[in-house]
């Protein structure tokens, strides 16, 4: 279990640092910013690389909503849910701390003013989308993400290609939803940066826990219904 939790924390660290780091440090870099597409690819590549690196140790969840979805889908034991969630949040917060230390090296940096890649709705949505719009897209995309993960991971013949499918799915999710909520579908990712933004991001964090967890659970139930009985 220690190795599994270490792998989950390490993988979540890389996902949050790579994805949110691309948003904070490179998305709008003068003249050569990578933009939304670059950030979406960064999140996808982060989960893809960690799924190959440590997924064989822990299952490569890196996301509380995925752990809940795997449990709801009958692919993960209840006794391991809480330890996995703790390791994922610890990895996300550690990534936020390292990213904050790096970003603070810029003379004009302010996590409060910049948003620090935090997720938000209403006036804190990149496109000004409402709470209802945010709830809808986070629920649908998290549920779909879990269906993809569970149904790919449960097919041994596809095990070598699973990280590619999962990484591309996360890229697509970000391409769709960055303008709406800055894309969470992952409470550990949201928490890791919200704590360092320190204001509105913490106030709105409840939504980026509640909705992805519910979406993940529903996705798990759907994936279980779709799988061919053994």
For residue 66, the domain's CATH number is 1.20.1080.10
Would residue 178 count as lying in a domain?
yes
Q: How many domains is the chain built from?
A: 1
What is the C-alpha to C-alpha distance for residues 105 and 165, in angstroms, rounded to an integer?
36
Would residue 230 count as lying in a domain?
no
Copy the structure tokens of residue 136.
Answer: 């809808």
pLDDT of 229 over the 80 cut: no
What is the C-alpha to C-alpha distance for residues 15 and 63, in angstroms, rounded to an integer?
9
Instruction: Give the pTM.
Output: 0.94
Instruction: List the domain range (segments joined by +) for residue 23.
Output: 1-225
Strands (E), 33-135: none
Q: What is the mean pLDDT of the chain?
A: 94
Burial class for 91, CB neighbours closer than 10 Å (0-12, 13-18, 19+): buried
What are the pLDDT digits (tens) for 165-193? Answer: 999 999 999 999 999 999 999 999 999 99
What are the pLDDT digits (tens) for 77-117? Answer: 999 999 999 999 999 999 999 999 999 999 889 999 989 99
What residue has token string 């149904």? 151
Would residue 173 count as lying in a domain?
yes
| Dihedral sign of CA atoms 97, 102, 108, 114 in order | negative
What are the pLDDT digits (tens) for 13-55? Answer: 999 999 999 999 998 776 778 899 999 999 999 999 999 999 9
What are the pLDDT digits (tens) for 138-151? Answer: 999 999 999 999 99
Q: Give the contacts of 30 (CB within 8 A, at least 6 positions apart).
A: none
What is the C-alpha to C-alpha distance for residues 192 and 139, in angstroms, rounded to an integer?
20
Would residue 79 count as lying in a domain?
yes
> How far from 176 is each of 14, 65, 93, CA to CA, in Å?
22, 19, 25
């Amino acid at each position: 279990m220690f190795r599994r939790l270490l792998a989950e924390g390490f993988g979540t660290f890389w996902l949050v640092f790579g994805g949110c780091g691309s948003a904070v440090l490179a998305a709008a870099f003068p003249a050569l910013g990578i933009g939304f597409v670059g950030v979406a690819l960064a999140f996808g590549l982060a989960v893809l690389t960690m799924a190959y690196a440590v997924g064989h140790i822990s299952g490569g969840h890196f996301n509380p909503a995925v752990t809940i979805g795997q449990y709801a889908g009958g692919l993960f034991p209840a006794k391991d849910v809480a330890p996995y969630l703790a390791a994922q949040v610890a990895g996300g917060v550690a990534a936020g701390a390292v990213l904050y230390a790096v970003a603070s090296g810029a003379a004009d940096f302010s996590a409060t003013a910049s948003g620090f890649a935090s997720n938000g709705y209403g006036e804190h949505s990149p496109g000004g989308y409402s709470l209802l719009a945010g709830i809808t897209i986070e629920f649908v995309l998290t549920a779909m993400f879990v269906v993809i993960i569970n149904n790919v991971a449960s097919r041994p013949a596809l095990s070598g290609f699973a990280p590619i499918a999962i990484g591309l799915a996360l890229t697509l999710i970000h391409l769709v939803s960055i303008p709406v909520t800055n894309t969470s579908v992952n409470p550990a990712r949201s928490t890791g940066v919200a704590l360092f933004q320190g204001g509105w991001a913490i106030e709105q964090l409840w939504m980026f826990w509640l909705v992805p967890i519910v979406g993940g659970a529903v996705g798990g139930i759907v994936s279980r219904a779709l799988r061919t009985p053994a």
